[in-house]
Amino acid sequence: FLQTTGQITLTGDFTIGFRVEATGTFLGTVLGDNTTANEFIKFNGVSSFRVDIDDDPQNFIITSAGDNYYVLTRSGTTVTLHQNGTAISPAKTFSGTADIDTIGDSFSSASFSGTMKEIQIYSSTSTALTANVNARLASL
């Protein structure tokens, strides 16, 4: 989609993919909102990933941080995180508006620690899109 302002606002379905090499013990925010508290996508430690949209935090247990790729999708109110092509179970249920205006930081969370290789953001989701994003990030 075409972004015409400094704010990305995702009100419905979305797909967000990124390849990062996270370092340290509290690995920090990948994407966030630098003007509104409690709007972020972040590592919450080496085995936990947190998505907070409209102050509704949801935690996913990941296998480990380090050099991995992730695809986060929302279809309706179902949010799924894939790590290295595998869906993390269970999926979460939440809605709200995801606001993004910063990479590697947010208003209310620690900055990212590590290297970011690529980030993709789409205002839609589908099985084909998820597969294509996973394949692209796996190739990096």
pLDDT in tens, 70-115: 999 999 999 999 999 999 999 999 889 999 999 998 887 889 999 9
Q: What angle do CA 129, 135, 137 make, to 5 degrees?
A: 100
| Global pTM value | 0.92
- pLDDT, one tens digit per residue, over 16-37 is 999 999 988 778 999 999 888 8
Burial class (CB in 10 A: 0-12, 13-18, 19+), 112: buried
